[in-house]
Amino acid sequence: MLMNRTFFLACATVVTLSIAATSAAQAQPCSEKPTERERQECRIRSAIYTVVSEAEAAAARAKQQQAAAALAKQQQAAAARAQQQQAAAAQQQQAAAAQQQQAAAAAVTKPTATSSPPEKSCGVTEYTVDGAVKFRDTCTGKWIQQDNNTQPKQQAATQIATQLGSTGHN
């Protein structure tokens, strides 16, 4: 890259000096120069001038492309920031909606001071162990054992249910 810049700088210097040295009377096509040496000098100057002009145009195009690329990069960055902000706002809205739903669900499921606890399923279960019948109240955990040999089963069950029912559980 350094060599290209140095070469173009040298070319620009030669062209500038040659243009300054050329007067209006000397401005004529290279083919009309009287000697071969002057024609060659003229062609060299023309080639250098053409190369320098093309290099200047290429440099200007490169500078414009760099500016356009920088602008596009800035626009992309701005679009990315805007998209991130929109995503963050959407997440905040979702979080707020989730909190509202949780609060609403908690309000529905929280027992209040005036509400009563749920009813337990209470009852009497019957077991037979070694010929004896055992009755157990599932609410209180109390149990009574009745021997089958002394009373008929139906009479014993009625008596036990009466005794367990007196505790207030059905």
**Cβ within 8 Å of residue 51, ≥6 positions away:** 8, 11
User: Residue 79: its pLDDT value, please?
Assistant: 94
- Nearest-angstrom CA–CA distance, 108 and 63: 67
Domain residue limits, the chain: 1-73, 124-165
- Nearest-angstrom CA–CA distance, 164 and 107: 39
Higher pLDDT, 19 or 112: 19
3-state helix, strand, coil in the chain (%, to 5): 65, 10, 25
Residue 132 φ/ψ, nearest 5 degrees: -105, 150
For 22-67, how does the pLDDT look when each residue is reduced to its tens digit (9 = 90+)? 555 557 888 888 899 989 988 998 899 999 999 999 999 999 999 9
pTM greater than 0.85 (yes/no): no
User: E strands, 1-120, where?
Assistant: none
What b/e readout covers 109-132, taking b as 16+ CB neighbours within 10 angstroms? eeeeeeeeeeeeeeebeeeeeeee
Task: Using a pLDDT cut of 90, give the percent of the chain over it.
Answer: 29
> Which amino acid, one-letter code, is at 76?
Q
For 103-134, how does the pLDDT look when each residue is reduced to its tens digit (9 = 90+)? 877 765 555 555 555 566 777 788 787 777 78
